[in-house]
């Protein structure tokens, strides 16, 4: 049982990156989607200008998923010849997954809130949809990307047995 402890830690990291990033995306999408639904009930012609602000938080879930895929590829789970990892290597992989998990969890929610504010602004000033609504929400994306890059570089740098 203890011989699989490292693999368990590593897979827990992959799961955490997917779960937390997904929760952030789903929550952000829900927040922005509710705001868009309210505006669209009165002004359905604004659908095109609101869609991007609703969709922006979905990228965080993708970043967490991609990190989980990199973990599975590193461990050779995809392909059937799973690599043996020590408990310490498994913990390193788990820790490497945390930047994307936490940054995407928080930024997804905050991006949804910023998107919702942009959506409400667009209801009254449609000319500001891209200038402010999308731009302000997209600025939050930078921190999700930083978390993704840190996790990716850490995972790529961890040595495991071949």
Residue 121 belongs to some domain of the structure: yes
Lowest mean pLDDT, pick from 63-67, 106-110, 138-142: 138-142
Kindly give, in sequence order, each residue whose CB lies less than 8 Å from that of residue 57, ignoring residues fewer than 6 positions away.
Answer: 24, 25, 27, 28, 29, 31, 32, 108, 109, 111, 112, 115
Residue 162 belongs to some domain of the structure: no
Residue 53 belongs to some domain of the structure: yes
- Total domains in the chain come to 1
pTM to 2 decimal places: 0.90
Express each pLDDT in 49-85 by its tens digit: 788 889 999 999 999 999 999 999 999 998 778 888 9
Element (H, E) at 42: helix 5-42
Residue 78 belongs to some domain of the structure: yes
Domain at 141, CATH number: 1.20.120.610
In 43-134, which ranges are continuous DSSP H helix? 47-55, 58-74, 87-124
Task: Domain of residue 86: give its range.
Answer: 2-157
């Amino acid at each position: 049982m203890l011989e699989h402890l490292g693999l368990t830690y590593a897979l827990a990291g992959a799961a955490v990156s997917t779960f937390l990033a997904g929760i952030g995306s789903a929550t952000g999408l829900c927040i922005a989607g509710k705001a868009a639904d309210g505006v669209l009930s009165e002004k359905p012609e604004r659908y095109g200008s609101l869609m991007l602000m609703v969709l922006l938080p979905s990228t965080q879930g993708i970043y967490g998923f991609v990190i989980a895929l990199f973990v599975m590829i590193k461990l050779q789970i995809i392909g059937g010849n799973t690599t043996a990892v020590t408990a310490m290597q498994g913990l390193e992989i788990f820790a490497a997954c945390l930047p994307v998990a936490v940054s995407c969890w928080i930024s997804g929610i905050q991006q949804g809130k910023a998107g919702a504010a942009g959506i409400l602004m667009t209801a009254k000033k449609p000319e500001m949809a891209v200038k402010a609504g999308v731009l302000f929400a997209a600025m939050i994306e930078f921190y999700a990307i930083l978390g993704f890059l840190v996790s990716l570089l850490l995972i790529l740098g961890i040595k495991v047995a071949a």
